[in-house]
């Protein structure tokens, strides 16, 4: 799943995976222009708080995730595919590498174990 700070950015990405959407809790349908318009208005009127973010599933579903990690699914592809969507978001750990030599870094380390480069 991809993570975004705004609904507009999430909608733009989701549109690369699906062309039309429906609101998750009603039968309202949105084409590309409609989805982008509602996303822009939502971001202007009610931006996500610090620690909250939007996610887009591999199939294009758009969800909102708050600090506690629970996902509120907002927009689903109009195709109506019945998928088992997760109810919570768990970030996958990102592997870190030394920018100087490319060696894999130990989590929390301040220096590269191979070349000694200081890690910020």
Summarised one tens digit per residue, pLDDT across range 21-43 is 988 888 889 999 999 999 999 99
Task: Record the pTM.
Answer: 0.68
Q: Half-sphere exposure of 113 toward its Cβ, with a 13 Å CA cutoff?
A: 9
Summarised one tens digit per residue, pLDDT across range 46-100 is 998 888 999 998 888 999 998 767 888 889 888 765 466 656 666 555 557 788 8
Integer angstrom CA distances of residue 30 from 15, 24, 57: 11, 11, 18
CA dist., res. 33 & res. 41, Å (int): 12
């Amino acid at each position: 799943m991809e993570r975004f700070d705004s609904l507009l950015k999430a909608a733009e990405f989701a549109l690369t995976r699906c062309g039309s959407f429906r609101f998750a809790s009603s039968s309202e349908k949105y084409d590309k222009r409609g989805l982008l318009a509602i996303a822009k208005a939502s971001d202007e009127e009610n931006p996500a708080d610090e620690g909250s973010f939007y996610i887009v599933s591999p199939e294009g579903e758009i969800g909102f995730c708050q600090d506690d990690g629970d996902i509120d699914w907002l927009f689903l592809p109009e195709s109506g595919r019945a998928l088992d969507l997760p109810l919570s978001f768990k970030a996958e750990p990102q592997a870190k590498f030394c920018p100087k030599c490319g060696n894999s870094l130990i989590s929390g380390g301040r220096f590269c174990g191979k070349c000694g480069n200081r890690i910020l």
